[in-house]
Amino acid sequence: GQQLNQSPQSMFIQEGEDVSMNCTSSSIFNTWLWYKQDPGEGPVLLIALYKAGELTSNGRLTAQFGITRKDSFLNISASIPSDVGIYFCAGQYSGRSQGNLIFGKGTKLSVKP
Amino acid sequence: GAVVSQHPSRVICKSGTSVKIECRSLDFQATTMFWYRQFPKQSLMLMATSNEGSKATYEQGVEKDKFLINHASLTLSTLTVTSAHPEDSSFYICSAAGLAGVWSYNEQFFGPGTRLTVL
């Protein structure tokens, strides 16, 4: 099945640094979602985006829905050790009210104290 | 709110046996539940979508006779892996979608996953 192009694949950063990751697609989505997954756990929803151009924050996290509706980015400011985990973007196609999510391959974030 | 549980969290079984995994939405009614499979260091791959009271819709390449899905109520869906083999070993995650608190009805809330190991 189709997957989103998510980058970078992994990041090693120092505590306190800012982080940026993004997802791109050849298809248009009407919803973009960002999840975090800890080892051995299910994904937890961080931010949901519904409109092109939308910029939404959740604490130190900020995500934007690209104008073209084919991309999204997630920023984490002032990273802390508990930010460690795998971050997934997910897109949902137009016309589906509770439709399928297409997931990116994930960005593994490691934070050095 | 929007809590989804899975049981068991971990199961080890012998090849040829069947394993049932339960997915429950604890504080909301899930009109749709999804089942995903995740191999180590990989992303989530959708296996099937089920609506309460209807037959599940399986993704291409997923054998419906091997992965039996039942969505008998608005709070419970089960996935049964029949005649399991070592290649079925994986992390199985369910999600549920429905009206839930501040999130839009589009949101899927994920369970904690079930680690299946087939010997």
Which tens digit of pLDDT belongs to each residue from B73-96?
889 999 999 999 999 999 999 999
With CB atoms and an 8 Å threshold, state whether A42 touches B115.
no
State yes or no: cis peptide before A81, omega within 30 of 0. Answer: no
pLDDT digits (tens, 9 = 90+) for A48-106: 998 999 999 999 999 999 999 999 999 999 999 999 999 999 998 755 444 678 899 99
Contact criterion met (CB < 8 Å) for A48 and B107: yes
| Residues 6 or more apart whose Cβ sits within 8 Å of residue B72 | B52, B53, B78
Window 8-67 of A, Cβ < 8 Å to B: 31, 33, 35, 40-45, 48, 50
Q: Which among A33, A42, A104 has the least Cβ separation from residue B112?
A: A42
- Which two three-digit tokens encode residue A95? 């016309």
Picking from B106, B109, B111, the nearest residue to A31 by CB comes out as B106
pLDDT digits (tens, 9 = 90+) for B14-32: 999 999 999 999 988 888 8
Dump pLDDT digits (tens) for B25-71: 998 888 889 999 999 888 999 999 988 878 899 998 999 999 999 98
Phi, psi (5° rounding) for residue A59? 65, -125
Over chain A, what is the mean pLDDT?
90
Which residues from B are below 8 Å from A42, CB to CB? 4, 6, 93, 95, 110-113
In this predicted structure, what is the pLDDT of residue B19?
A: 97
Residue B100 has pLDDT above 60, yes or no: no
Say whether B107 and A33 touch across the interface (CB within 8 A).
yes
Residue A91 burial (10 A CB sphere; 0-12, 13-18, 19+): buried
Residue A55: other Cβ atoms inside 10 A:
11
Q: β-strands A107-112, A10-14: how paired?
A: parallel
B-chain residues within 8 Å CB-CB of A50? 104, 106
Q: Cα–Cα distance between A81 and A16 in angstroms, integer?
A: 9
